[in-house]
Amino acid sequence: MTRSINYGLIGCGMMGQEHLHNIALLEGTRVSAIFEPDPEMARAAKALAPDAAMVGSVQELLAVEDLDCLVIASPNHLHVDQICEVADTRPLPLLVEKPLFTDPADAARLEKVQRDYPCPIWVAMEYRYMPPITALIDKVEATGGVKMLSIREHRFPFLEKVGNWNRFNRNTGGTFVEKCCHFFDLMRLILGSDPVRITASGGQAVNHLDEAYDGETPDILDHGYVIVDFASGGRAMLELCMFAEGSRYQEEISAVGPDAKIEALVPGPGRFWPDHLGEPPLPQVIVSPRNPKGPVTMDVPVDATLLAAGDHNGSTFYQHKGFLAVVRGEKAQPDVSLQDGLWAVRMGHAAQQAIATGESVHLIA
C-alpha cells in the first residue's frame, strides 16, 4: 500500500483553499498543518481540512514532524522570505504559488535557493494545465513551428483579498507580474525560447479608481498590450482587459506557424457565469490547417468535480497530480522549475517598466 503524503500549507486565503479542495481529490494525501494568520481564512481552511493542525507561524509549521511537502499560497510579497525561511530551517519538496517574487532585487536570493535547495521546487503555473491549453500545447507541432503567438485575457477585476493587499503594486509586483506571469510562462513554453525584447502599453482606466485604503488609491493597472520578441525569431503578444467579464470566453490563445493555426478558447470560472444564460460554454480547441483548408473544432470538456474544486478550469488538480508524483519519486523533476518562475516574473517586470517609461526593455538570458 502506498504511504500517505502529508502536506503543510502556508497561506489559506482564496488560492490556498483551492489547493485544499484539490489535495482532497488526490488518493493517499492528507493536510497535516496549516499556517494562516487571518482568523476568517483560518476558520474556512479548518472547515476544509478539519484534521490539520492550525499553527501560528512558519516555524511552528516546520516543526510539525509528519510533513512530506509544503505549499506556499500566501500573498505575493511574502513568498521570498518564506521560501528562504523554509530553505534555512527544513527544506522539503515545495509547490510555491506564482509570482515567485515582487521586488527585482530579490531575484538574487532566489538564484541562491536555486543553487542550494536540496529538494524539488515546483512553481504553480496553473494555466499550463487547463485542459484546452494543454490540448493546444500537445498539438502545437501541427503549426510547423510557432512564429506568432497571441494571448487575450478578457476577465473580471481583481477580487477582494485579505487586507486588500492586491490593490497595490508594492505587494503584487504590478498587474503584469501578478496576473500575467502565467502568460509569459506559456509564451516561453510554447515558443521554446527565451525573450530578448519587451514593448508594452497599458494603464488604469476603469477599476478601483473610486477605492481608498488608509487614504491611498490603488495603483494596479487594469489593461494593456505587451509584445515580446524571442531569441528564436518568434513573436508573442498579450492583450489584457480586466473590465470585460461579460465575455463568453476568458482566455483566447492563438498559435500560428507556416502549416496551421491552433486556437484554445477557455471560459472563466463557472461560479461567475449567470444562471439566466444557461450552461456555461465548453472549452474548445480549433485546428486550422493552411492546406487543405478546413478548421476542425474540438470540445474539451472538464470534469464537473474538478470545475467545482476551483476557479482555474480544473488545472489545479492536474498540477497537484504532477507535484504529488514528484514528491513520491514517480516523476523525475517539476514541470515548472524555479528558473521558469524567475523568467516569468522578469518578463512581467519588464512589461511594467516598458509601460512606465514608454521604452522597450531588452532582456539578457
Structure confidence by residue, pLDDT tens digits, 164-223 = 999 999 999 999 999 999 999 999 999 999 999 999 999 999 999 999 999 999 999 999
How does residue 2 score in pLDDT terms, banded at 50, 70 and 90?
confident
Extract the runs of DSSP E, i.e. beta strands, from 211-322.
223-230, 235-241, 251-256, 260-266, 284-289, 296-299
Rounded Cα distance between 294 and 296, Å, is 6
How does residue 327 score in pLDDT terms, banded at 50, 70 and 90?
very high
- pLDDT beyond 70 at 1: no
Share above pLDDT 90 across residues of the chain, in percent, rounded to a whole number: 97
* SS3 state of residue 107: helix
Is the separation of the CB atoms in 240 and 207 below 8 Å?
no
What's the confidence (pLDDT) of residue 3?
84
- pLDDT beyond 60 at 353: yes
When the pLDDT of each residue in the chain is averaged and rounded to a whole number, the result is 96
Extract the runs of DSSP E, i.e. beta strands, from the chain.
5-10, 29-35, 53-55, 69-72, 94-97, 121-124, 148-154, 195-203, 223-230, 235-241, 251-256, 260-266, 284-289, 296-299, 361-362
pLDDT tens readout for residues 281-317: 999 999 999 999 999 999 999 999 999 999 999 999 9
Residues 6+ apart with CB under 8 A from 355: 176, 200, 201, 202, 203, 221, 224
Amino acid identity at 62: L
How does residue 364 score in pLDDT terms, banded at 50, 70 and 90?
confident
- pLDDT beyond 90 at 108: yes
What's the confidence (pLDDT) of residue 325?
98
Q: Checking phi first, is residue 75 left (phi over 0); if not, alpha (psi -120 to 50) or beta?
A: beta
Residue whose entry in the numeric block shows the C-alpha cell 497595490: 168
